[in-house]
Chains A and B, each alone.
Chain A
Amino acid sequence: MKQVVIIMGCLLFGEFVVYLTGIKMPSSIIGMLLLTLSLEMGWIKLEWVKGISNFLTKNMAFFFVPPGVAIMLYLDLIKASFWPIIVASTLGTVIVFACTGWTHQLFIKHKKTFKKNKPS
């Protein structure tokens, strides 16, 4: 029960923050950051939440079946914009791969040349 209380507490905190500040962010993300912070600061012990978080993250895919079924309400809208959706998402995926990889690689190369130039 303690596990459920911690998870729900984090969610409730997220809801409060969104409500009070009007910030345009999912309350669950704020709750997730609170949980990470609490673990890091030692306010919460890993064993307290390990079981429930394993269960939730392992079965996460299943939880979005019901919201996914709602797609049946939008089939006409999707049909009308089929190609924009497909082309934008395909190119977007390639662009994300390339940009993230290149940027990260740039740092590593930089580090290496930096090390090489250092007198040893």
Chain B
Amino acid sequence: MNAILHSEIFILSLTFAAYFVAQSLQRKTKMLFLNPVLVAIVLIIGFLTVFKIDFESYKQGSKMIEFLLKPAIIALGVPLYQQLGKIKKQAIPIIVSQLVGCIAGVVSVVLIAKLMGAPKEIIFSIAPKSVTTPIAMEVSKTLGGIPPLTASVVVLFGIIGSIFGYEIMKISRIKSTIAQGISMGTAAHVLGASKSMEISGNFGALSSIGLIVNGIFTAFLAPYIISFLGIWIDF
């Protein structure tokens, strides 16, 4: 029995099943907080703990799924290509606003976490938290953070951003619909984009621009922003 529980086929099935259950749960309840990824992670951790399966076995077994993350980022090149016309038309506003958003995001998170006394591996883990999970995890790995922690924070705050994003922008008097759509993708990545998609396809497309462009900028700049901050801050 133990051999089956630790086998690759069992671990893969467990992961698929947990995600399927989590997805149907959200479809039925329509509660944004029951994000399928978060729920699936909780279900799997619960199962591993109850049946005393160690994380190493799980990691070995689920390697095949995790491997697909990198090809998935490559595949984002297709929507980026499809939005290229829109991006070119508004090149300067988009590039500048994304640059500001990217720098503001990384710097604010790093400074606040440092002020509150977080250790450096935590700070580096949450530094890329505004960008989409696969990119954020890669950035976290490059910086020396803890990618799984990054993933959880990204998903959690993506959900929070997608729920309160339009409220935050109403309070901060961002009235331009283009600015709203793009910011949703910049600050709340895929989850923000899917929220925008509910409003209209146009909003969704704008958000996907924000999510991809901020992803690229953060991947490029985060290591440099961190080493720049390192001049003043002793991590």
Contact = CB atoms under 8 A, between A and B. Distances in A.
Interaction A to B:
yes
Interface of A: 7-8, 10-11, 14, 24-29, 31-36, 39-40, 46, 49-50, 52-54, 56-57, 59-74, 77-78, 80-81, 83-85, 87-105, 107-108
Contacts of B197: none
B153 to A, nearest CB: 6
Chain B interface category by residue count: 35 or more
A68 B153 CA distance: 10
| Interface majority SS (helix, strand, loop, mixed), chain B | helix
Question: Main SS of chain A's interface residues?
Answer: helix
Contact of B169 (A34, A65, A101): A101
Contacts of B168: 93-94, 97-98
Contacts of B141: 26
A42 to B, nearest CB: 11
Contacts of B155: 68
A95 B105 contact: yes
Contacts of B223: 24-25
Given A66-B66, A88-B118, A61 B96 contact: no
B3 interface: no
A32 B134 CA distance: 12
Contacts of B79: 53, 57
B137 to A, nearest CB: 6
B134 A63 contact: yes
